[in-house]
Amino acid sequence: MTSTAQPTGSEGRKAHPEHLGHVIFITAAAAMGGFLFGYDSSVINGAVEAIRGRYEVGSAVLAQVIAIALIGCAIGAATAGRIADRIGRIRVMQIASVLFTISAVGSALPFALWDLAFWRIIGGFAIGMASVIGPAYIAEVSPSAYRGRLGSFQQAAIVIGIAVSQLVNWGILNLADGDQRGKIAGLEAWQWMLGVMVVPAVLYGLLSFAIPESPRYLISVDKISRAKEVLAEVEGHTVNLDKRITEIQDAMRREHKASFKDLLGSKMGFLPIVWVGIGLSVFQQLVGINVAFYYSSALWQSVGIDPSASFFYSFTTSIINIIGTVIAMIFVDRIGRRPLALIGSVGMAIALGLEAWAFSAKTAAGTLPPTEGTVALIAAHVFVLFFALSWGVVVWVFLGEMFPNKIRAAALGVAASAQWIANWAITASFPSLSDWNLSGTYVIYMVFALLSIPFVLKFVKETKGKALEEMG
């Protein structure tokens, strides 16, 4: 699944569609998958302690139930591109919508722990598909002058999904009088938290019927007239449509269907550019960002904060996440991807170091002294802010842009799969690591934030302002 060829030179960079609002609607509708990605990923935050209590499981088993969805994510990410090349981008969105809906219903009504784990895997398939199809589709329909900002819609949708899930969780908890296992209309509060996702899942499916198929896919199945109509919608009627069709066709003729074998180099396994994509994906996760979204309520409760306040802090963290993402969307096309990544790495390292220091003061009673508690809360919000204004956005933009056309589909799938595997490693290990040494766990995350700085400086090239056909 490769992204639409963009005109090279100044013509493509200055393209200004007459109906930019319509392009924004198309992008926002496609990014609804990102909203569900964020919602489904983080909604479990509100159910962690309730699941532990209901099924009487320890940290290791609980971590596997929380993290098992990420295995489905990796599989969904690895297969979405090839499926989209066969049946179209819109059909993949619709399949993901159905899987999100099924997962929400099943997760809300489990009859055993393994049953809950199974429905989380189904949701993981959907998240993985959305993680690939969203940025790829948006890159294919975006004029190059706006591609960075429109590509940021995916991450914006993810962080809004995270925030809404935490707000919904907090509201449901209050309806249940602060008890995560309190009954509301016959179901426990945590079941409602997981089940409410049905609403955005159905909306995603409906929106997929309101947006056009990717012009690149339409050309690949010889629907040239429809491809011209879509190009006119998204790039403007002043663009020479015949020339654009020819450019895309020429680019497609120079390509072949990428396979895993095409990603292999002679010495290092994968080609160097593929390793860079994998590195970006892995570093994005190894700084521990998803601990903030999967475990923050349980984390704050473990250092003496009551459940209602812990849910509220999870929500305020997600608002900071949105603010940081907006900052990134404003600057990603102005100062570039690499500078934002470097700024974020430095800020995250400092914040994680402060969290490590604060958690080292945890008392035998499981609480933090007032000063350290305040520092921990502020540093947690600062960490999320710097992640959101940098790695949260630029990695997705990089992955949509950095690969040569002939390997973009396969390379993006491998990089996204690596991201989910790294996400799984962090998510599955955190409960046991925090039981061992909470402060030491944050030192590990800080080290990865520091290591990301020389990685970006040495290996990552700027993609700001370049047409997709200039990559590689």
- For residue range 332-372, list pLDDT tens digits in order: 888 889 999 999 999 999 999 999 999 998 887 778 888 98
Nearest to residue 50, comparing CAs of 122, 113, 102, 103? 113
Q: Indicate the pLDDT class of residue 12, thresholds 50, 70 and 90.
A: very low
pLDDT in the model for residue 470: 55
Q: Do residues 9 and 109 make contact, with C-beta atoms less than 8 angstroms apart?
A: no
Q: And the tokens for 51? A: 């699941």
Give 201-250 pLDDT, tens digit per residue: 999 999 999 999 988 889 888 888 898 888 888 877 777 888 888 888 88
Query: Which comes out higher in pLDDT, residue 285 or 366?
Result: 285
Query: Which comes out higher in pLDDT, residue 19 or 227?
Result: 227
Whether 147 shows a pLDDT value over 90: the answer reads no
Say how far apart CA 86 and CA 107 lie, in whole Å. Answer: 30
Q: Whole-prediction pTM value?
A: 0.79
Average pLDDT over residues 302-328: 86
| Structure-token match 């925090």, residue found | 434
- Which H helix or E strand runs over 115? helix 113-141
pLDDT in the model for residue 258: 65
Whole-angstrom Cα Rg for the chain: 22
Tally of helices (H runs) and strands (E runs) in the chain: 22, 2
Q: Indicate the pLDDT class of residue 255, thresholds 50, 70 and 90.
A: low
pLDDT in the model for residue 379: 94
Angle between helices 337-359 and 408-459 (to 10 degrees): 70
Strand partners, 187: 184
CB neighbours of 288 closer than 8 A, spacing ≥ 6?
A: 352, 426, 430, 441, 442, 444, 445, 448
CA dihedral 176, 182, 183, 184 (to 10 degrees): 20
- Burial category of 285 from C-beta neighbours within 10 Å (exposed 0-12, middle 13-18, buried 19 and up): buried
pLDDT in the model for residue 16: 53
Say how far apart CA 371 and CA 380 lie, in whole Å. Answer: 14
The mean pLDDT of the chain is 85
Average pLDDT over residues 10-26: 63
Say how far apart CA 44 and CA 404 lie, in whole Å. Answer: 37
Residue 264 has a CB neighbour count (10 Å cut-off) of: 12
Q: Indicate the pLDDT class of residue 11, thresholds 50, 70 and 90.
A: very low
Angle between helices 391-401 and 370-388 (to 10 degrees): 20
Q: Indicate the pLDDT class of residue 9, thresholds 50, 70 and 90.
A: very low
| Structure-token match 């934030």, residue found | 449
Q: Indicate the pLDDT class of residue 14, thresholds 50, 70 and 90.
A: very low
Query: Which comes out higher in pLDDT, residue 2 or 399?
Result: 399
Q: Do residues 408 and 276 make contact, with C-beta atoms less than 8 angstroms apart?
A: no
Q: And the tokens for 465? A: 């302002």
Strand partners, 183: 188
Q: Indicate the pLDDT class of residue 2, thresholds 50, 70 and 90.
A: very low
Contacts 24+ apart (CB under 8 A), 21-27: 22/233, 22/234, 23/141, 23/142, 23/143, 23/146, 23/150, 23/233, 23/234, 24/150, 25/211, 26/141, 26/211, 26/212, 26/233, 26/234, 27/138, 27/141, 27/142, 27/150, 27/153
Nearest to residue 79, comparing CAs of 414, 406, 402? 414
**% the chain with pLDDT above 90:** 34
Q: Indicate the pLDDT class of residue 256, thresholds 50, 70 and 90.
A: low
pLDDT in the model for residue 135: 83
Nearest to residue 422, comparing CAs of 224, 307, 289, 302? 289
